[in-house]
Amino acid sequence: MDDKTNSLDTVLDAEIVEEPKVQNAQDGEAIVLLNLEGMIKSNISSIDKLTEEVRIQKEMLDSIFENDETFKAHSAAAKEAQRIKTATKNEILKRPDVAHVFEKFKGIKLELKEAKESLASYLSEYQRMSGVNEIAGEDGIIREIIYVPKLIKRGQKNS
């Protein structure tokens, strides 16, 4: 039993070294960020390739349709019907009673568009200032503020 006690009583000199947790967290975030960037680039390449494949297949289909006599005849008839429909619609819109309604319609649509743009701006500022992603409307319904990121090439406008 003496040998057992001696082995337990022996203490080795050692230095406990702790790695800074902040550095490990930053390294982990950097690795995640690099992996995420790689996935984004890979996905962009995949989207570009698929877009090109879709374009090629669409051209092939368009060519097939253009060379089919039945399709050409039906397409011409549809174009003529569309032309007549558009002309009739424009004539109806010239009537004073309809023109008034149409102008009101356009005004309301413009007002709605401007209200949505203002709301987006207000929500962005509200979230930035409050740090909150939800807001209750006047109707009592809680709505979540979300953002839909979109990647565009530089020099191109959002569409």
Q: What is the pTM of this model?
A: 0.55
Contact 97, 108 (CB under 8 A): no
The long-range contacts involving 76-81, CB below 8 angstroms and separated by at least 24 positions, are: none
Q: From residue 2, how far is each of 6, 10, 11, 77 by CA, in Å?
A: 6, 13, 16, 108
| pLDDT tens across the length of the chain (159 residues) | 455 555 455 555 656 656 556 667 788 888 988 988 899 889 989 999 999 999 999 999 999 999 999 999 999 999 999 999 999 999 999 999 999 999 999 999 999 999 999 999 999 999 989 988 999 989 999 999 998 888 888 876 655
Which runs of E-coded beta strand occur in the chain? 134-136, 142-144
Contact 146, 123 (CB under 8 A): no
Q: Residue 155, by phi and psi: left (phi above 0), alpha (psi -120 to 50) or beta?
A: left
pLDDT of residue 148: 83
* Alpha-carbon span 83 to 52, nearest angstrom: 33
pLDDT of residue 25: 74
